[in-house]
A and B are shown apart, each in its own frame.
Chain A
Amino acid sequence: MALHDRLDSHKAVETVWGKLIPEKDAYRYATREIAAFCSNIFQVMRILEPDFEKRTEAICEMSYNLNMGVSGEEYLNTFYDDWNIPEFCEKSSWLGAIFGDYGDEAENMAGRVIQFTRDRVEKELDTCPWDIVGAELCNMTTAMFTANFDLANGGENDVALNMCEARGCGDRHCRVVAERRSTFGLPKQGFLDHMGTPVMPVHNTPEERMVKNGQILRNGQYSNAFGEEHSLEYDYRWLCEFGWAWCVAFPLAVIRDLPDDEDEFLRIFRIIFSTAGKNLFMEPFSKRAVRDWLGAPDSIGDNDPRLMGAYIKTLMDCQLVPNELDAFTKDEVRIKVTADDFNGRFEMAPMDELAIGYEALWHNAVKTLVSAEWSCWFEGIDEDEMTIVIGRKIDKRMI
């Protein structure tokens, strides 16, 4: 018989109702979800430090130092060797750019290396999932690139970095240009000097040849100019670790210390995430979209906590966070997760703020997605084993 014995297999996240979310869609969703969390913490920062320059410089300095610590010379050297970067590519000139290009594509920042010479590197992006966050983050990434170039150079680099365009600032492209200072006669830059104009003219890709997706989504893998490749699986995992590190853990290291005491930080932090949660499903059509996304059957009514429970579980699955359904009824949803898995996605820098932020976000989101009768809270939020609960709660001081 000529029939196939079975269907082809493909990876997917399966919702509680059997709807399959293809691996690529799950990866895309995880990317944007991290960016959304990042957006919220930047709102916290803006409340705590009203001065744009002060807060931007602070997160630049911190991210530079942390990137130096996280990446490290040994890490970059391993990268250099593993990726078979030929000897004629001087580390001091090139490695920072190669590493940066890989990081962009791993996080679905779609674009291209326009120029790659000893004295000048130009990278152009057509998309950036983080373009909703704001200009401080764009500045912050240049500080991280500076760390990459310093690490590659074994000390202070010889590069002037300019993000002369940024989608987070409203430009069509993001564009980072690195020019060798000794060649172009350029001064050393401070952390806030990286949004200037490069010496040499840039190449502007016409709109009709811009791309909508990174290589991972277009081609199922990343491949660089040296032919070295990373799979979708590898980069998805990389995103779900390092994505949280650079755009959440790094700035949080500054934001936590902006107020005089932790209570004030947590008060504002919770308010921001609560507001975001209240608005998450405000539009009536967004509820229909969530039901479609999850494959919720008609038997799940409008006032059923399982809708929110399925949403939370699917989100965690898409973020590669191990979790276990403990209860899933019309009266209660309980999802077990460990603090290590939930808060320690980037193992070197676990963040309690992930649980605190999502608790505030989901507690308020459930009120628009399901109804105000329902609440969401984390049992054991300070313990190793946590349970995310969606249940009925009456609180005369509920916010």
Chain B
Amino acid sequence: MLFREDEVARAEAKAIRESAGWYRWTHDLVEIKGPDADRLVQYLYVNDMAKAPVGRTKYTTMLNEDGKIIDDVIVMHMDENLYWVSTLYAPQLLKWIAAHDEGFDVACSDITKLYDMYAVQGPESTTFMNALVTEPVDGLKRFAVMDDAIDGVPATIHRAGFTGELGYEIYVPMESTKTIEEALRRVGDELGYPEITILEVYVRSIPVEKGFALRQDMYGLTPFECDLDWSVCMDKEFIGKEALEKAQSEGPARRLMGLEFLNDSYEDIAQREIVYRKGVPCGFVRTAIYGYTVDKNIGFAVIDAKKAIIGEEVTVGENDSPAIICDKVFV
């Protein structure tokens, strides 16, 4: 949990919002390669991967046959017939692919342990990165990757992040991770960009303020119920398309919404805490956290679509903690 009075967390959040900060940011990494890699990623994911040429990446959700989200990932087109998928659930993804890759000439593997990952995030992150790498990153587009080097260690730089700020992700061979960490600390100290140490700041507080949800927040919903319409390409085949078309025609049953909690703190609110409108259950909380930019206790909740009305007063949990339904994007 994060609290208003936590000055260490506040300083870390401020660094990301106003200057820059760095942290070890590892997630799972699955490699998909082979002659049918293009076709497979198109089939697995709802976004149009054909629009991501080599060197570009895309955010997308993955659905089950019911058209419900079971993962959300960044698909990175690393080379011809070669993709990296950044997910928090590599073992599950590999099982899912194995169940659906008949007729695709591909090889998939979990390469998480081969690479370590760091993030440099914040409006001044380009300055930070340019002091770190051999080739400046100024020209690197959003959702694009480039090969570079840090202190002689080859590094893949990905302009992306989970903070809603300008930012970069650094992928380095696992055996070189100490070199990269030392470089980040050295350059960060020189330029006044701190290491961000509190997981809940960079995984929850900062992203939630910008409306960035984790897979667990969206699990079991359709992309439309999460306002991810922009990421769905209905002009191709993908797993769950038929059910998603039906869901689209019927309209959303539930909506992933923002919640602003009105008490000073939120200790009585867990994931899945029940949300009540006029005393009647209308949904459940997905996350609650303190946002240091907005200086409020905020979060996400899954709300019955008909009751997902911005500005509506609700209560949460057995203490009737007051809250207001709001947009998912707080800043």
Contact = CB atoms under 8 A, between A and B. Distances in A.
Nearest to A111: B267
B274 A209 contact: no
B53 to A, nearest CB: 29
Given A88-B25, A115-B1, A118-B197, A218 B317 contact: yes
Contact of B219 (A213, A225, A227): A227
B199 A116 contact: yes
Interface stretch (A51-59, A79-87, A289-297, A355-363): A79-87
Contact of A87 (B3, B27, B214): B27
B44 to A, nearest CB: 18
A124 B1 CA distance: 11
Interface string B53-72: 00000000000000000000
Given A87-B112, A219-B273, A227-B219, A209 B198 contact: no
Interface centre among A87, A208, A210, A211 (most CB of B within 10 A): A87
Interface stretch (B87-95, B142-150, B184-192, B246-254): B87-95
A117 interface: yes
A275 interface: no
B127 interface: no
B197 A210 contact: no
B26 interface: yes
B215 interface: yes
Given A86-B88, A227-B215, A221 B27 contact: no
Interface in B143-175: none
Interface string B212-227: 0011110100000000
B176 interface: no
Contacts of A124: 267
A204 to B, nearest CB: 10
A219 B1 contact: no
A210 B265 CA distance: 11
Given A87-B27, A224-B271, A117 B198 contact: yes
Contacts of B217: 227
Given A112-B267, A227-B214, A215 B272 contact: yes
A114 interface: yes
Nearest to A82: B91
B263 A225 contact: no
B109 to A, nearest CB: 15
B31 interface: no
B interface bracket (residues with beta carbon within 8 Å of A): 35 or more
B105 interface: no
A226 interface: yes
Contacts of B274: 218-219
A105 B271 CA distance: 13
A223 interface: yes
Contacts of B198: 117
Contact of B272 (A206, A211, A229): A229
B92 A209 contact: no
Contact of A86 (B3, B26, B284): B26
Contact of B91 (A81, A203, A208, A215): A81
A72 B317 CA distance: 36
Interface centre among B24, B88, B199, B270 (most CB of A within 10 A): B270
A84 B88 contact: yes
Nearest to B271: A223
Given A117-B198, A211-B318, A227-B214, 19 more contacts: A84-B91, A86-B26, A87-B27, A88-B26, A88-B27, A89-B199, A115-B1, A117-B197, A117-B199, A118-B199, A124-B267, A203-B1, A205-B265, A209-B263, A218-B317, A219-B272, A219-B273, A223-B271, A229-B272
26 contacts: A84-B89, A86-B28, A87-B26, A87-B27, A88-B24, A88-B25, A116-B200, A124-B267, A203-B3, A206-B267, A209-B321, A211-B319, A212-B318, A218-B270, A218-B273, A218-B274, A219-B270, A219-B273, A223-B271, A223-B272, A224-B271, A227-B214, A227-B215, A227-B219, A227-B286, A229-B272
7 nearest A-B pairs in the assembled complex, by CB-CB distance: A227-B216, A223-B271, A223-B272, A205-B267, A88-B26, A209-B268, A219-B272
